[in-house]
Amino acid sequence: MSASRLPIAASLRFYRQHPLQLGLTLLGIALGAAVIVAVAIATRAAAVSFDRSLEVLAGPMSHELRAREGALPEAVYRELRIEHGIRFAVPLLRVRLLIEGEAVELVGTDPLAFLDLPGEAAAPGFGGGSLADLMVEPGAVLVPAALATRLGLAPGMPALALIGERRVRLRPIALMEAQGDDWLGDALLADMATAQTLARREGEIDSIQLRLDDREAQALQGVLPGNLELSAFNTQRRAFDDMTRAFRTNLTAMSLLAVLVAAFLVYNAMSFAVVQRRSTLAILRMLGATPRQLFHRLLVEATLLGLCGALIGLMLGVLLGQSLLVLVARTVSDLYVSVDALRPDLSPLQLLVALLVSVGSVLLATLSPAREAARTAPAALEREPAAGQGTGGAGLFLSGAGLAVLCPLLVAVSGDSLEAAFLALFLLVAAYAMLCPLLIRSLLRALLALTARVGDGRLRLVFRGVDSALGRTAPALIALAVAVAATVGVAIMIGSFRSSVADWLDATLAGDLYVYREASGDRLEPAWAARLAALPGVASVSVARQRRLEVDGEALRVLVLDASAVATRSFDLLVGDDESVRRVLADGAGVLVSEPLARRRDLRPGDTLRIAAPDGDLEVTLVGVYRDYASSYGAMVLPLAVYTEHWSDRDLSSLALVLAENADADALRRTVLDLGVDAGLELTVVSNGAIRERSLAIFDRTFVITDVLRALVVIVAFVGILSALLALFLERRREFAVLRATGFTPGQLQRLVLGQAATSGAIAGLLSLPLGVALSVLLIDVINRRSFGWTLEREFDPWVVLQALALAVVAAVLASIPPARRLARGDLREALYAP
């Protein structure tokens, strides 16, 4: 007596008779699955792209040795090979040059070192007769074949290149058939001596890449002098994972929200399908089908629907993922590390996970309707369902209230767990969904009471219609409310975030003009400070040096600042006060750290931090914590006086100019640019306004992907409300036909239907507001803080409320237009005698 004894043909034919209902249900499931797949494609592509760039950088090597400061003496390479007996070591010197106007990298290395590497790792082109030519011929280079084609280079044909302003002559001696992704595959290769001569950096190299196992790395680390730094490439991979974890988790949570809304849709569709087949189910019970058989039948049906919808969703997701790739690549590049154009790539496992999540959510959403179906009594044939049946009662409300209490408890006990925060968010949504039926009914009762007092019969008809349909439409209304609430919550969060960033930029950009070299990492000589200070119209100059230093064992962005008024004004302290800033920058009393760093490492004023300096470890005291939205990883501010005491580096990264009153900023900007040209440097000079504008543009770009996902969630909800209203109004066509028979014109009938839809939408909109605000609090104060470590000032824009209400009403009204038109145009006689 298994479920298979019940003919599945009846289910299939039911959906064949209701193609629109089937189509919308499948579309809802498909959209949910598509969003999961698209997000998985996009986030995986970002990670793969980073891996690829690391592969190009590291190839078969595991570690890299660099000087903590400046270039690495060539002698270190010899010592490594001879004294430490390290066989797999490759010295590298990277030189940027221009050929035919295109920027090209030339890598100087020791070709003989490649001969020692295992076969698969040997760089192409070093074999054969070219090796001797490469080491002997002045200016000899190996050219990647693709690059040669692009630039018109050929072996034996000399080529001219620019290094800075200087012309150099290259002699391509052979082509390398390398792929672009190969280790060093994009660069011109030269013997180390050639590269040093071309770059005028004799005796210097940039780094030595090594292939070491853990034991060898540990041994080498133990004997390295303090001015050398050995880093593992896989820690860079881990750092990327750490940095982007919050970003990926946020996107995944957004995609799960789409699935949650889709689950409401499925719940609604399956409930409706059960109600529509109530008579069939009762007949089956009368003939002896057990509740379990009916339950299984519904689950089999849901599994088939889930599989079909999810498969369509996987295909849609691949298409959608292509569009998201661009957005994710841009966001990851803006916020974290530069990644190339991404290629879609999805593992079978991820597809399987998306399929299981989708089908699982469909099954979960079907459990309740299937249980209802199983409970169908054979006697139900004789009774009509009560109005409002299925909206849940006090029990559901109390369960929801209990769940709502769990949310703050979970937040309170879960420490900094981002996953727990998202779980609390989903609990909150589930709790609110349980509270909704009673809230909706109370709202409608209030409206009915109001109309009874006003005595408006038509309005009463509208509200009665909505009230009597609640048993069928409540899940769709809740889905719409949840989707709109997500929109409200995210909109408040983004608004608060943007306003906080704008305030922070205003405080941070205390200079009028900022000067730095175009290529990041390129430095300016210290003399530039005095040169610019001497310009007419410049009131003062503040200097900054940006370095990556090892702080307590991790590489950290360190901002070295002087004690100028500009620097002192640039901080909005969250812990400490203006006096703390002055004590750090003017007195060299310690350091400041950014909020994300303080949060991540649980740092407090008075804590000691250890910075690896050329002359040994430097211990500094933490004095204050400042607001900083520039990095979610964290940064430190070190006073210039302390830096110059321990580091010999005197170069500058940027200069901030404060202009005298009435000074012409544009004229001064041109003057500084001209000074740069005279010195052979490509300087960038931007006003604080331009930086602010550019920063906010990046901010807005960052949230484009969130907006896209938010729109998808609303589309899923729209499909839900469309299918619910369509099915409901079509089912009530006899009732509407009676109204027409008693004198309602088609126009009046359409207005009645649209009025009921608008009322439903307005209810969903109103319901979305409390949840939206609660979600925004959770997003701003918990999830954002745990993701990025940033404190945001909450800002509530009343416009968001109006948008939410409009969105819900418009969605519901749009969804009701097709059924309203069908009802008004339909055959009255046929509708009156409909079964």
Partner 1 sequence: MLRAEGLSYSYREAGRDHPLFADLDLDLAAGERVALVGASGCGKSTLLNLLGTIDSPDGGSIRIGGTEVVGLREPERTLFRREHLGFVYQRFLLIPTLTVGENVRLPLDLLGLDAGETGVRVASALDAVGLADRSESFPDHLSGGEQQRVAIARALVHRPRVLLADEPTGSLDASTAEQVLDLLLDQTAAAAGTLLLVTHSEAVAARADRVLALEDGKLVPR
Closest distance between partner 1 and the C-beta of residue 704, in Å?
47
Closest distance between partner 1 and the C-beta of residue 281, in Å?
10
Enumerate residues 784-823 that contact partner 1 by CB under 8 A.
none
Closest distance between partner 1 and the C-beta of residue 13, in Å?
4
Single out the segment in contact with partner 1 by CB under 8 A; choices: 4-12, 193-201, 209-217, 470-478. 4-12
Q: Could you tell me if 347 and 47 are in contact, meaning their C-beta atoms sit under 8 angstroms apart?
A: no
660 near partner 1 (CB under 8 A) = no
Single out the segment in contact with partner 1 by CB under 8 A; choices: 13-21, 51-59, 126-134, 241-249. 13-21
Q: How many CA atoms lie within 13 A of 82 on its CB side?
A: 5
Count the site residues for partner 1 by CB under 8 A.
28
Q: Which is nearer to partner 1, 53 or 290 (CB)?
A: 290
Of 3, 6, 192, 620, the one binding partner 1 by CB under 8 A: 6
By the 10 Å C-beta count (0-12 exposed, 13-18 middle, 19+ buried), 179 is classed as: exposed
The H or E element that residue 481 is part of is helix 457-508
**What is the Cα–Cα distance from 359 to 366, expressed in whole angstroms?**
10
Single out the segment in contact with partner 1 by CB under 8 A; choices: 5-13, 226-234, 585-593, 824-832. 5-13
Q: Which is nearer to partner 1, 376 or 816 (CB)?
A: 376
Task: Fill in the amino acid letter for 621.
Answer: T
Closest distance between partner 1 and the C-beta of residue 365, in Å?
23
Closest distance between partner 1 and the C-beta of residue 385, in Å?
17
Please name the residue that has the structure tokens 């041994």: 219
Enumerate residues 278-307 that contact partner 1 by CB under 8 A.
279-280, 283-292
Task: Fill in the amino acid letter for 272.
Answer: F
Q: Which is nearer to partner 1, 292 or 821 (CB)?
A: 292
**What is the Cα–Cα distance from 460 to 464, expressed in whole angstroms?**
6
Q: Which is nearer to partner 1, 6 or 479 (CB)?
A: 6
Q: Which is nearer to partner 1, 284 or 625 (CB)?
A: 284
Of 9, 394, 413, 530, the one binding partner 1 by CB under 8 A: 9
Of 10, 352, 711, 802, the one binding partner 1 by CB under 8 A: 10
Of 311, 381, 665, 691, the one binding partner 1 by CB under 8 A: 381
Enumerate residues 250-279 that contact partner 1 by CB under 8 A.
279
Instruction: Tell me how far the alpha carbon of residue 116 is from its chain's centroid.
Output: 43
Closest distance between partner 1 and the C-beta of residue 277, in Å?
8
Closest distance between partner 1 and the C-beta of residue 285, in Å?
7
Of 5, 445, 582, 821, the one binding partner 1 by CB under 8 A: 5
Q: Which of 361, 315, 324, 356 is nearest to 248 (CA)?
A: 324
Structure tokens at 725: 């209203």
Q: Cα(first)–Cα(last) distance of the chain, in Å?
A: 32
Q: Could you tell me if 467 and 759 are in contact, meaning their C-beta atoms sit under 8 angstroms apart?
A: no
Q: Which is nearer to partner 1, 139 or 378 (CB)?
A: 378
Closest distance between partner 1 and the C-beta of residue 274, in Å?
14
Question: CB atoms < 10 A from the CB of 80, how many?
Answer: 19
81 near partner 1 (CB under 8 A) = no
Q: Which is nearer to partner 1, 13 or 445 (CB)?
A: 13
**What is the Cα–Cα distance from 56 to 227, expressed in whole angstroms?**
27
**What is the Cα–Cα distance from 494 to 372, expressed in whole angstroms?**
41
Q: Which is nearer to partner 1, 3 or 478 (CB)?
A: 3
Single out the segment in contact with partner 1 by CB under 8 A; choices: 11-19, 214-222, 468-476, 724-732. 11-19
**What is the Cα–Cα distance from 805 to 763, expressed in whole angstroms?**
9
Q: Which is nearer to partner 1, 276 or 684 (CB)?
A: 276
Q: Which is nearer to partner 1, 155 or 378 (CB)?
A: 378
Q: Which is nearer to partner 1, 481 or 730 (CB)?
A: 730
Long-range contacts, 820-827 (Cβ 8 Å, 24+):
820/729, 820/749, 820/750, 820/753, 820/754, 820/757, 821/750, 822/729, 822/730, 823/729, 823/730, 823/733, 823/736, 823/749, 823/750, 823/753, 824/746, 824/747, 824/749, 824/750, 825/746, 826/733, 826/737
Task: Fill in the amino acid letter for 159.
Answer: A
Closest distance between partner 1 and the C-beta of residue 437, in Å?
24
**What is the Cα–Cα distance from 733 to 741, expressed in whole angstroms?**
12
Binding mask 341-380 for partner 1 (x = CB under 8 A): ------------------------------------xxx-
3-class secondary-structure state, position 538: strand
Q: 418-454 burial by CB neighbour count: b if 16+ within 10 A, else e?
A: bebbbbbbebbbbbbbbbbbbbbbebbeebbeebeee
Q: Which is nearer to partner 1, 11 or 768 (CB)?
A: 11
Residue ranges that bind partner 1, judged by CB under 8 A:
1, 5-7, 9-11, 13-14, 17, 279-280, 283-292, 377-379, 381-382, 835
